A and B are shown apart, each in its own frame.
Chain A
Amino acid sequence: MSEKQERSHKAQKVLERMGQKLNRQMVGSLVACVHCGMCTESCHYVLANPGDPTYAPAYKADRIRKLFKRHFDWTGRVFPWWVKAGSVFTDADLEELKDIVFGKCTNCRRCTMNCPMGVDLATFNRMARGLLVSVGVMPEGVAVVSKDQWETGNQMGVLKEDYVETLEWMAEELEEELGAPAADIIPIDRPDCDVVYSINPREVKYDPRSIADAAKIFHVAGESWTMPSEGWDMTNFGLFSGDDALGGSVSRRLYEKVSELRGKRLVISECGHGYRSTRCEGPNWAQYDVPFEMESSVITMLRYIKDGRIKVDKTRNAQPVTYHDSCNFARSCGMVEEPRELLNLVCTDFREMYPNRAENYCCTGGGGAMSMSEYTPQRLKSGKVKAEQLKATNTEVVITSCHNCVDGLTDVIRHYELGMEVTQLVNLVANAMVIE
């Protein structure tokens, strides 16, 4: 296509904004690829689609890289054809790019770990997503969820009344077992607590048992804790959509609520992307220096057991279990040993999945893929790799510390008829807990 061709308004904006998004790390990743192909087989999409090179990480990266080369790098400006530099002109070009950056990559960062040059595709793939989102080009689900999170402060559009009602309902369910009044079991908006607990809206909508299990653990540990009535969603669709403004706004809402309650520590329930967004990326997006500590509930539960604040009987979880490392936990936050330590304390037969830790394969639901139904068939096809991994463990229960992975894995298990159950550490800990 000729460079003289007129560019659509959206395509023009994407290119202009690209210049504002580039930082040194990203530019390094954009210029350093030597097209060696070492990353090719690290991607679950490639492994599940043999013979189709369009899923290769470097191929996908080059769809973004060509824009950088054409507009920001001298070689591509002078000899575009020589280095495969190119541009976007029409809205159809943007749609095509959308199908790659949203539909063919879960930003899992596995290729990054396997690149000898240190090229971090996931980072600039996220940038490309953000550029497209800024001109309204995104999968329908991304638009819906982003809108919900902007409007209601949580990505599932849970209303405040429904949230509070769910907490009260869970507290009432526990009243008899714990012998305490509901208001003390799940305290809401209590100031000056040691712990403010934030959750994933999925827990309110589909998995309130996790809230009850966490409440039980906090109560038995004698924790001074509370749940905020607002600013409680620790998930952040900005991570997936590449929209730093949304990312910053969601994080700030959470941080400011904890500060308002004068909480000493923000505990983040089990969620890979929620933990990464709130704990690691949020302060950067929001340009906010967080004045309190933040930790994953995995670490909190582990500490309770180690400090003797809760007692557990691991024989209550006697079935063989395996553990799936969430990409965001393992490859972006270094959270790999703590979940294993906890698992070994609360169940008797933990079996590793291979590969694991920072080399684990994505559950297929990463990067917000669960919300992009138009790509479901290719996502499930890519799940073949995960399915084989799960099957080889010879277990019937897979544990993960991520709500997104719970959904991704459940889909894969159903699709490949593996007959496995997916659960989280909080459920195992609550089940193993001895209440005297």
Chain B
Amino acid sequence: MSDLLHFSEHGLQEGALLFMALVYTTRIIWFLRFKAGGDRQAATGAPGTTPMKGAVYSLANIALPWGMESTRRKPLLYAQFVIFHLGVVAAISLSMIIPYADWLLESTILVRCFQAIIGAAFVVGIIRIIRRVGSPYMRAISSPDDYFSLVLLTVWFLSAVLAAPNDATGGEGHLLTFFILTAFFLIYVPFSKISHYLYYPFTRYYLGKTMGYRGVYPVRRG
């Protein structure tokens, strides 16, 4: 392994992770400095609906595609969402496994699993780029950050697919690309919309708490 690849796998990643953690901490402190609004009135809605039930329902919403009309009516978009996010988890895991537990990748089955998941996420990334560029609705709501983040992730998925076997016999280019992209990704994320997962627990918790207190969550249909 060259010094450059060693640095990319270790020093660079650790530095990028530290930077990300610092920015995230600052971000959370900034967010929590805004005072949370509260409800003074007595609860409404069916007996048994509580803020806690509402919050749990709201947080679990991500795994309840039938819970919202938008995901219920568009199962393909929901499936894309699942695959894309599994791809992110798999690629991040890979960036940890290669430097710290590379023996795991001696298993061809595991390597193929990583490649299948991340490869599928790459395909979803392409579909998402086409949708974002092709739909006038999506174009109207997109910022340069939206396009860039999506392209960045899609390219990163491709590099992860190539890096998964952790095989440098034919050259280190693909591994270097993956780790440099991962480091860039970690540094860029806190400033981009990709950091949405940082806010997700808060937004869903607060909405769920309010809607639970008001008896709207869990949603009843008929």
| A interface list, Cβ under 8 A from B | 22-29, 31-42, 46, 51, 53-54, 56, 58-59, 62, 74-75, 79, 81-84, 112-120, 279-284, 287-290, 293-294, 330-337, 340, 352, 355-359
| A117-B208 Cα distance, complex, nearest whole Å | 11
* Chain B nearest Cβ from A353, distance in angstroms: 11
* Chain B nearest Cβ from A55, distance in angstroms: 9
- Counting CB contacts under 8 A, is B203 at the interface? yes
Could you say which residues of chain A place their CB within 8 Å of the CB of B196? 32-34, 117
Q: Are B215 and A59 in contact (CB under 8 A)?
A: no
* Chain B nearest Cβ from A117, distance in angstroms: 6
* Chain A nearest Cβ from B210, distance in angstroms: 7
* Beyond A37-B141, A38-B77, A75-B191, 12 additional pairs, beta carbon < 8 A: A22-B34, A32-B199, A53-B140, A75-B145, A113-B69, A116-B81, A117-B196, A279-B44, A284-B41, A333-B44, A334-B211, A357-B220
Q: Are A117 and B203 in contact (CB under 8 A)?
A: yes
Q: Are B141 and A53 in contact (CB under 8 A)?
A: yes
Q: Are B36 and A25 in contact (CB under 8 A)?
A: yes
How many interface contacts (CB-CB < 8 Å) are there between A and B? 185
* Chain A nearest Cβ from B138, distance in angstroms: 5
- Which 6 A/B pairs are nearest by Cβ-Cβ distance? A334-B215, A334-B45, A53-B140, A114-B70, A118-B203, A84-B143
Q: Are B141 and A32 in contact (CB under 8 A)?
A: no
Q: Are B220 and A24 in contact (CB under 8 A)?
A: no
* CB-contact partner of A27 in B34, B71, B204, B220, under 8 A: B34
Q: Are A118 and B68 in contact (CB under 8 A)?
A: no
| A358-B45 Cα distance, complex, nearest whole Å | 12
* Chain A nearest Cβ from B63, distance in angstroms: 11
| A375-B145 Cα distance, complex, nearest whole Å | 34
* With known contacts A24-B36, A116-B62, A333-B215, A283–B142 Cβ distance under 8 A: no
* Chain B nearest Cβ from A104, distance in angstroms: 13
* Chain B nearest Cβ from A186, distance in angstroms: 28
Which residue on chain A has the smallest CB distance to residue B212? A334
* Chain B nearest Cβ from A121, distance in angstroms: 12
* With known contacts A53-B140, A120-B207, A283-B40, A24–B202 Cβ distance under 8 A: yes
Q: Are B210 and A359 in contact (CB under 8 A)?
A: no
Q: Are B137 and A81 in contact (CB under 8 A)?
A: no
* Chain A nearest Cβ from B15, distance in angstroms: 21
Could you say which residues of chain B place their CB within 8 Å of the CB of A46? 137
Could you say which residues of chain A place their CB within 8 Å of the CB of B58? 118
Could you say which residues of chain B place their CB within 8 Å of the CB of A40? 137
Could you say which residues of chain B place their CB within 8 Å of the CB of A331? 216
Q: Are A113 and B219 in contact (CB under 8 A)?
A: yes
* Chain B nearest Cβ from A332, distance in angstroms: 6
Could you say which residues of chain A place their CB within 8 Å of the CB of B169? none
| A28-B58 Cα distance, complex, nearest whole Å | 15
